[in-house]
């Protein structure tokens, strides 16, 4: 029997089409203190694509992949179609060591698919996401025996009623078996199914969001106050990431504010999943908050230095430790203040 720590993930499993586009418009709208940026295609016009690449992705699958590559027993639970996209995703996860014994294939819908528009304007991406078979996950797909000896369960956004019920069942089984629950809810569940988002986040031990997600969920624009509101709901550890502005991590006692490592950023897709993976692994290893942030930020950096989700993923904890020792990260640690 394997002595590796067991990690189970639920969330999207997607084939990403990364499309390089030059002949495209960009504009900004100003609404009081808010600035919104838009990517646009001129109506009724055919545009040439400069380059296209296909990469397996999806937040739930990414976290499982990150953990498996670092030596953990990572199991992904989900649903894919019976199409070429599914085969690409399955082959990639197997190659990275993810256990797919509980992956279900169906002909009811296609495998989830995302179109990621890559422009010359910056590293962030506009994404068109089709959830597809991801949202066909059902509570009966969550097998009770699988959660024996579990160390951690990580969930990311599914928006269907059955998918949310499946996550809730997995949370209950995890806690009943002494494991920790990690949440990485995306904007899709926060906006499209806010009631379930609140239920699932409230019942999680650790929550990681980006600044935009945290603001929409808590109605707080400041990362500190957003994290405090989430802590007040029940979780005991919260991280809020903000791209080039770094991250905030707090356990309700200490607050660690960190910058980012200076690296050549090519593609930020999957960086948030990598950060949560780093938090999860650090928590299982009982790392203090400052080291936890260093490792999570390092994993995001690895992910961002290569184009394509998972392409730059770290392959060992030693590789991450070496990176951390050779790169400076600005950090401030302070007491968490109650108001």
- Residue 226's domain is classified under what CATH number? 3.40.1190.20
Q: What pTM was computed for the model?
A: 0.91
Determine the structural domain holding residue 81 and report its residue range.
Answer: 6-22+48-335
Q: Is residue 31 part of a domain?
A: no
Q: Is residue 41 part of a domain?
A: no
Q: Is residue 1 part of a domain?
A: no
What is the domain count for the chain?
1
- Rounded to an integer, what distance in angstroms lies between the CA atom of residue 237 and that of residue 234? 9
Q: Is residue 42 part of a domain?
A: no
Q: Is residue 152 part of a domain?
A: yes
Q: Which residues pair with 249 in a beta bridge?
A: 239, 256
Q: Is residue 144 part of a domain?
A: yes
For 248-316, the DSSP string reads: EEE-SSEEEEE-------S--TTHHHHHHHHHHHHHHTT--HHHHHHHHHHHHHHHHTSSSTTTT----
**In the block, which residue shows the tokens 């991590």?**
249
Q: Is residue 224 part of a domain?
A: yes
Predicted confidence pLDDT, tens digits, the chain (339 residues): 346 899 999 999 999 998 888 878 888 888 777 788 888 888 888 888 888 999 999 999 999 999 999 999 999 999 999 999 999 999 999 999 999 999 999 999 999 999 988 877 665 578 888 999 999 999 999 999 999 999 999 999 899 999 999 999 999 999 999 999 999 999 999 999 999 999 999 999 999 999 999 999 999 999 999 999 999 999 999 999 999 899 999 999 999 999 999 998 877 878 899 999 999 999 999 999 999 999 999 999 998 888 767 777 888 899 999 999 999 999 999 998 765
């Amino acid at each position: 029997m394997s002595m590796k720590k067991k990690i189970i993930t639920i969330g999207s499993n997607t084939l990403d089409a990364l499309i390089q586009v030059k002949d495209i418009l960009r504009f900004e709208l100003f609404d009081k203190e808010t600035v919104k940026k838009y990517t646009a295609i001129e109506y009724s016009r055919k545009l040439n694509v400069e380059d296209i690449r296909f990469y397996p992705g999806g937040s739930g699958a990414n976290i499982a992949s990150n953990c498996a590559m670092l030596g953990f027993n990572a199991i992904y639970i989900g649903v894919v179609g019976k199409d070429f996209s599914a085969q690409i995703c399955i082959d990639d996860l197997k190659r990275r060591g993810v256990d797919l014994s509980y992956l279900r294939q169906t002909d009811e819908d296609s495998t989830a698919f995302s179109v990621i528009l890559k422009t010359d304007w910056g590293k962030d991406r506009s994404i068109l996401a089709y959830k597809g078979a991801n949202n066909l996950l059902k509570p009966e797909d969550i097998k009770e025996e699988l959660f024996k000896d579990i160390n951690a369960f990580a969930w990311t956004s599914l928006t269907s009623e059955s998918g949310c019920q499946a996550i809730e069942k997995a949370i209950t089984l995890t806690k009943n078996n002494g494991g920790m629950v990690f949440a990485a809810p995306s904007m899709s569940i926060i906006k499209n199914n806010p009631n379930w988002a609140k239920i699932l986040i409230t019942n999680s031990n650790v929550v990681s969001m980006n600044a935009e997600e945290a603001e929409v969920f808590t109605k707080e624009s400041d990362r500190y106050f957003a994290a405090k509101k989430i802590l007040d709901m029940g979780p005991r550890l919260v991280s809020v990431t903000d791209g080039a502005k770094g991250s905030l991590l707090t356990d309700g006692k200490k607050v660690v504010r960190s910058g980012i490592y200076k690296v050549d950023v090519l593609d930020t897709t999957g960086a948030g999943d990598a950060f949560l993976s780093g938090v999860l692994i650090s928590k299982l290893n009982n790392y203090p908050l400052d080291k936890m942030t260093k490792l999570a930020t390092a994993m995001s950096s690895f992910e961002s230095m290569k184009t394509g989700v998972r392409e730059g993923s770290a392959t060992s904890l030693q590789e991450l430790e070496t990176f951390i020792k050779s790169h400076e990260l600005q950090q401030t640690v302070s007491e968490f203040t109650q108001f």
